[in-house]
Amino acid sequence: MAGAALYSGYLDAVEQAALVGDIRAVVAAAPLFSPLTPWGKPMSVRMTSAGKYGWYSDRKGYRYAPRHPDGIDWPPIPGRVLAIWRHLVSAERDPDCCLVNFYGAKARMGLHQDRDEADFRWPVLSISLGDDARFRIGGTTRGGSTESVWLRSGDVLVLGGEARLAYHGVDRIAPGTSTLLPNGGRINLTLRVVD
């Protein structure tokens, strides 16, 4: 799709390991939690955030929140993560949110749009760490044809232009395809400009 750019193998093994260390520090400051959908069903993905805002969901809907559900401030976005954004997106405007999603072997993310932000001119940047994930992307309206691609550890995906509001999701995780995380699973970092 126009506006979707996949940087396969953007991060080497050393860079991936360093990022995992940074994310462990984020999780220590703002623990992973399992949000509810607006329909009251727990999501299979556990998450936390870094930056000015964190992404949150409960029965009141999807939104950005200035604090973790425990009431603590979100930690700052790690410098190594910001460096990727600055290289691939913008050196002038940093993202407001780094959403940290942890996918276990059976976790999924249904097709959805990223549309809780104020300015869709800024792309969404996604970093994959750990086990492979089958990523599905469609058009800007629900339904219709979709395409799938396997995202591997170290890949970076940028969704801008027409792809910025494309429906997308994760169909499945392929356990054991990476040794980056000692107990397996996948970490996805999603960077967005919110304001």
pLDDT at 37: 85
Q: Domain for residue 67, yes or no?
A: yes
Whether 194 maps to a domain, the answer reads no
Q: Which of 48, 159, 45, 143 minimizes the C-alpha distance to 103?
A: 45
Chain segment 86-141, per-residue pLDDT in tens: 999 999 999 999 999 999 999 999 899 999 999 999 999 999 999 999 999 999 99
Measured CA to CA in angstroms, residue 34 lies from 113, 115, 162, 190 at distances of 20, 21, 31, 17
Asked if the structure places residue 195 within a domain, the reply is no
Assigned domain for 50 exists: yes
Mean pLDDT (whole number) for 144-162 = 96
Half-sphere exposure of 48 (CA within 13 A, CB side): 21
Q: Does residue 76 sit in helix, strand or coil?
A: coil
Task: Find the CATH number of the domain harbouring 58.
Answer: 2.60.120.590
Arithmetic mean of pLDDT over the chain: 95
Q: Is 1's pLDDT higher than 70?
A: no
The DSSP annotation for 112-124 comes to E----SS-TTS-E
Q: Is residue 14 part of a domain?
A: yes
Q: Cα-flanking dihedrals φ and ψ of residue 125, to 5°? A: -115, 135
Residue 138 has a pLDDT of 93
- Give how many domains the chain has, as a whole number: 1
Mean pLDDT of 162-188: 96
Range of the domain at 71: 4-189
* Domain annotation covers residue 131: yes
31-60 pLDDT tens trace? 999 998 888 888 999 999 999 999 998 889
